Structure 1
Amino acid sequence: MSVVGRPRWEAVLVWLGLPALGALAGLAVRPLARWILDTDWVPNIGLARVIADLPQPHGTIGAAAAGVVLGVVLALTAEGEVLRVAVGPDEVTLTRDGKSRTIGRGDVSAVFADGKELVLAGRSGEELARERSDLAADRLAAAFTEQGYPWRRDGDPYRHEFRRWVPDEPELPAGANAVLGARSAALEKGDRKDVAELRDELGKLGVVVRDQDKRQYWRRVRIGG
């Protein structure tokens, strides 16, 4: 089993650095409040007086403790967003934010990095998984290659089949234009969850989609492999 996740040094930096920064921010709150109250050209904010008048040293200690808690929450959030890839001889497990999905080795025909995304393609050219990832491509390549998967160093083998989507594209299957239209709106709003769900809906229609600068490019799945 080969596992690729956040480098250890990065995890240490996140788990120690964010709480430490939170504590420093907490310690700086009272001096900042007093500076606001003593400065004529900064608007007098009522909250600043409340903070400045907190009993000491309990007020400062409490602010620092609150900063540490906030730092831990941010560290937990950052940890959940990291993709973890476990590559075994028979299956691949992708885990993010406590949710996992497993893909059988026999279903995979190609694995590659497409920009900041990891893609596993199936036997008919369908995308079994497309996950945003900051994991180093060379680490992913080593893990998949070590377990005998077809890692494509040259990238997407189907890249020449994509074409830019325009509304009412006649060659798309029924319903796909509507899904792509909704997905275009989700891309504009930055709604990652909706974008991902609509990608899955397109997959069910036999359409693969990729994004570039909020523009959508599509291709059909090769029926029959």
Structure 2
Amino acid sequence: MSATTPTDETELRMTLDTKIVIWVVCAALGVSLGLALPWLLQNIASWPIPFIDQLKFLGSFDAPIMVIGRPAILGIIGIVIAFVITYQSARLRISDTQITITEGDDSRLISRDQVGGVFRHGGKVRIESPEGRVLFDDDVEGGKHRITAAFQKHGYPWEGA
């Protein structure tokens, strides 16, 4: 969503609600895969998959620790993947003079005079220099109207409809 800060910056970032949904879905997918793994491996045993014998061997264990352990371990792996996804999602702080882009631990500034145009394509936002060089091209959370309004509010050359 977007929020205006006291320094008249607009921030576009993934909301906590969206992060929680991603965390829950990825964990649930991991647990589901752990529960369904023996059945899946039996049904795809005839397919030409590399290392299928090793996978069938791992899926054949039916000891109580494996019945509980597979879903638990794959659920944890799902949560780790979800944390990486949400941590690496782009956060933009837009002001009248610059755009600060933060992705994970990396942060960079794009000054106002470097921006030649901003537009959406698909689910992504693209920021280009006046020469056409791509300065940013990634997903941005906040919805079409909020993203458009954020860039237009600060006077950036919005080229989208």
Same fold (TM over 0.5): yes
Cα displacement (A) at 1:113:
0.8
Q: Corresponding residue for 1:87?
A: 94
Deviations 1:82-131 (A, max 9, x none): 221111243210122321101233x2454411523421435xx4647232
Deviations 1:157-197 (A, max 9, x none): xxxxxxxxxxxxxxxxxxxxxxxxxxxxxxxxxxxxxxxxx
2:79 to 60, 72, 81: 72
Shift of the 51–92 alpha-carbon distance from structure 1 to 2, 3 Å rule, reads: same
What are the residue-to-residue correspondences of 1:48-197 with 2, within 5 Å? Answer: 48-56=56-64, 58-105=65-112, 107-108=113-114, 110-115=116-121, 116-121=124-129, 125=131, 127=133, 129-135=135-141, 136-146=143-153, 148-154=154-160
State the alpha-carbon separation in 1 of the partners of residues 12 and 133 from structure 2.
20
Higher relative contact order (CA 8 A, sep 6+): 2
Please provide the CA RMSD for this pair. Answer: 3.1
User: Counterpart amino acid of 1:48?
Assistant: K
User: Counterpart amino acid of 2:158?
Assistant: R
Secondary structure in structure 2 of the residue aligned to 1:17: helix
State the alpha-carbon separation in 1 of the partners of residues 73 and 157 from structure 2.
46
TM-score, normalised on structure 1? 0.53
Gaps of 5+ in 1: 156-225
Shift of the 45–109 alpha-carbon distance from structure 1 to 2, 3 Å rule, reads: closer
Shift of the 154–93 alpha-carbon distance from structure 1 to 2, 3 Å rule, reads: same
Instruction: Provide the aligned length of Structure 1 versus Structure 2.
Output: 145
User: Counterpart amino acid of 1:112?
Assistant: V
Shift of the 53–3 alpha-carbon distance from structure 1 to 2, 3 Å rule, reads: same
* Percent of paired sites with the same residue: 19
User: Counterpart amino acid of 1:72?
Assistant: I
Q: Is the 8 A contact 1:30 1:60 kept in 2?
A: no
User: Counterpart amino acid of 1:95?
Assistant: T
